[in-house]
Structure 1
Amino acid sequence: MATIRDLARQCGVSVATISRVFNNPEVVNAETRDNVLRVAARIGYQPNESARTLATKKSYMVGLIWDTDHRRPGWRHPFFQEIIIGLKTALSERGYHLLMLATSDDEGSHLRAAKRHNLDGVVFIDNGTQDPALTQLAESDVPCVSLDRPITGPRTTYVISDNAGGARIAVNHLYEQGRRSIATIAGPGRTRPGIERLDGYRDALAALGLPERSHHVVEGDFYLAGGHAAMRRLLELDERPDAVFAAGDEMAIGAIRAITEAGLKVPEDIAVVGFDDIELAALVQPGLTTVAQDKGGFGTAAATALIAMIDTPATGSPPPSVLPTSLVIRGTTSTLPRTSP
């Protein structure tokens, strides 16, 4: 097995530098750190985790809480899968491990788990519920970062996308394509993204001088079946929309299926814009125009904020990170001029 001296010799740096890479990576310049980690992987060097933990008084373990089950099938949603991969990658690059925590209905379960496993910090993903266990954890001295959900506490922050801005981008794009009867399949009203994307949709309609029709707002669930069912309701209207902004890509893809089942064409009859830019968005036919979120940025921002709180507990909480969104234009929105007034 390769030793720390073997690694130092291969990298052309001192043993002290190698130690800093694994114990205090933030003090080593990125080029040196990346080279050490790359060579370590190639020669099979493994740092002494026990010694590192004793020296730094850290476990180098971060917990992940996502309270989802068969009633809330969040685990299979591709957007969150990509976020977790980004989070794990960002933490691994800084020498941390990610531990999935089981959840229960016990109010103190999350805090007890964090203490029992000696976790340096916790990341949790919004499940759309007001969980007393998460509130108790956020109010403790454990550093916490929330994804897609604002939280408050002595050592907390959160990472969220510019949901309202992304929705405005989507509606403005549809307007630019000549669409004037724009409906939305909204996200669940109990979730922050669902609320903010609906607000952005409404703001855009008002700014463009378009009327908001209550029957053109149908709530979905961020999944394929929910989008399909919501679109069928919109198709039954006497005043059928000529465009739909779906607050999630899976709902948009479900909507496309409902449109084609009704004998209509996308985008000729109804244009569709989604939100997320999941991998499937580029694979469906026609390709889905969507508002892209910075999925890798979620992981990087969460890891950076959490480690900042772990390393400098006296500085309090870093400010929230609001990540920008961008429009990815594909085939579900027409670029042909339209004559609608």
Structure 2
Amino acid sequence: MSATIKDVAKLAGVAVSTVSYALNNSTKISEETKRKVLRAAEELCFRPSGAARNLKKRKSETIGLFLNDLGGPFYSQVIEGVQEVVASNGYNLIVCSTYGGENSSAHRFLREQFVDGAIIMGTAISDSLILQVASESFPIVVLDRALRGDYVHNVLITNEQGAYDAVSHLIKLGRSKIEFLSGPTVAFDNSLRFDGYKRALMEHNLPIPNKISMFGRFVEAGGYQAVKLMIASKQLPDAIFAANDEMAIGAIRALHESGIRVPEDVAIVGFDNINISPIIRPALTTISHSKYEMGAIATQLVFNARKHENEIILPTQLVVRQSCGYKDGLQETDYDAIVASILHVGGRKQN
């Protein structure tokens, strides 16, 4: 019968969690304790299930990508960028949802350091846990999140400027009553996009709302329901800036069902330039950024992590399509990945 982790703990005279720390090369225990645990494991010929661990190297050769949600068109492009760099380094990738809170696989993988490094997007994993587990041997990269630490690195986008550009474009088209369709208010990117929205209104001497009145939770169904409620209230704006494309698409569907024309009656602008944005009708004006590059660069940071702070900020760009209409020579534009001229990863361009 094969030895178990409990057998190793008993022989070494330590707790099971200490064995896990030793096998994962954690800095939470002393080098002497690590050596004692590894000697016990070798004596018992213990190997973790799945042969994922190599006791000599004490490496899993696996990177963890932890996301709030595994569905939707946004995450697929991030995953693609991560996967390509992981594979080029001869590593494996585990992608986990943080659904389930502290009992989720993502939380367990972080606490026990079952992977060699982590990339985190979303707020379900707390700042305190990330700062607690990040170390020289366990680097963590967070995407589009305000978090700093010696071994916590950041890949950000220009959220505030992108939102400012989107709303300024609507104003140039003659729109003056512009509503903000919000995602979760606790989300870092949503807050910055709201700031950009307000700055554009302020600089053009338009009234700034005292509070957010439409909440779409970053999902299409949320955008649809929020706009349905707005229509029922008979407080129709002449434009909507949605904090992401999925909500914008839901908003367009709700307006169409009520016989409200887009863009003639209400112009719509989204954020993210997901793959289906140019396909819907009318094609969605949006703020584009390279999701592929975001994932690829984050993974490069995991493999090349240093103690000093690493922060990379990727640009955004307005993509003008039919959902906001045209005026004064403003034409439809196509987004070409300008990131490649700044920091090229993997020879890929974002569509």
Superposition pairs for residues 185-196 of structure 1, below 5 Å? Answer: 185-196=181-192
Show the counterpart of 2:93. Answer: 98
Deviation at 1:268, TM superposition (A): 0.5
Deviation at 1:58, TM superposition (A): 5.0
d(CA) in 2 for partners of 1:307 and 1:187?
32
d(CA) in 2 for partners of 1:133 and 1:63?
15
Show the counterpart of 1:325. Answer: 316
Distance of aligned partners of 1:57 and 1:255 in 2 relative to their CA distance in 1, 3 Å threshold: same
Matched, 1:184 2:180: yes
d(CA) in 2 for partners of 1:216 and 1:267?
22
Letter in 1 for 2:174: G
Corresponding residue SS for 2:271: strand
Deviation at 1:93, TM superposition (A): 2.2
Letter in 1 for 2:91: Y
Distance of aligned partners of 1:129 and 1:210 in 2 relative to their CA distance in 1, 3 Å threshold: farther
Letter in 2 for 1:329: V
Deviation at 1:250, TM superposition (A): 0.7
Deviation at 1:60, TM superposition (A): 3.0
Show the counterpart of 1:304. Answer: 300
Show the counterpart of 2:347. Answer: none
Q: 1:292 aligns with which of 285, 288, 291?
A: 288
Show the counterpart of 1:113. Answer: 112
Could you state the TM-score of these two structures normalised by the residue count of structure 2? 0.71
Residue segments in structure 1 that go unaligned for 5+ positions in a row: 1-49, 69-73, 310-314
1:244-271 CA distance string (max 9 Å, x none): 0000101000000111111111000000
Could you state the TM-score of these two structures normalised by the residue count of structure 1? 0.72
Letter in 1 for 2:319: V
Show the counterpart of 1:27. Answer: none
Letter in 2 for 1:61: T
Deviation at 1:238, TM superposition (A): 4.6
d(CA) in 2 for partners of 1:63 and 1:260?
41
1:114-157 CA distance string (max 9 Å, x none): 1xx3x331111213563654343236851000112232332111
Show the counterpart of 1:71. Answer: none
Q: 1:202 aligns with which of 198, 201, 222?
A: 198
1:298-330 CA distance string (max 9 Å, x none): 012101211111xxxxx4134211211111111
Corresponding residue SS for 1:159: strand
Contact 1:62–1:98, Cα closer than 8 Å, also in 2: yes
- Give the aligned length: 273
Show the counterpart of 1:63. Answer: 64
Contact 1:162–1:322, Cα closer than 8 Å, also in 2: yes
Show the counterpart of 2:268. Answer: 272
List 4+ stretches of structure 1 deviating above 4 A: 53-59, 101-104
Q: Is the helix fraction higher in 1 or 2?
A: 1
Q: 1:154 aligns with which of 141, 150, 157?
A: 150
Deviation at 1:229, TM superposition (A): 1.3
Corresponding residue SS for 2:201: helix
Show the counterpart of 2:81. Answer: 86
Show the counterpart of 1:335. Answer: 326
Distance of aligned partners of 1:124 and 1:112 in 2 relative to their CA distance in 1, 3 Å threshold: same
d(CA) in 1 for partners of 2:91 and 2:279?
34
Letter in 1 for 2:272: D
d(CA) in 1 for partners of 2:177 and 2:238?
5
Corresponding residue SS for 1:109: helix
Contact 1:145–1:157, Cα closer than 8 Å, also in 2: yes
Show the counterpart of 1:144. Answer: 140
Corresponding residue SS for 1:198: helix
Deviation at 1:171, TM superposition (A): 0.2
Matched, 1:281 2:277: yes
Letter in 2 for 1:323: L
Q: Percent identity?
A: 35
- RMSD of aligned alpha carbons: 2.7
Distance of aligned partners of 1:140 and 1:94 in 2 relative to their CA distance in 1, 3 Å threshold: closer
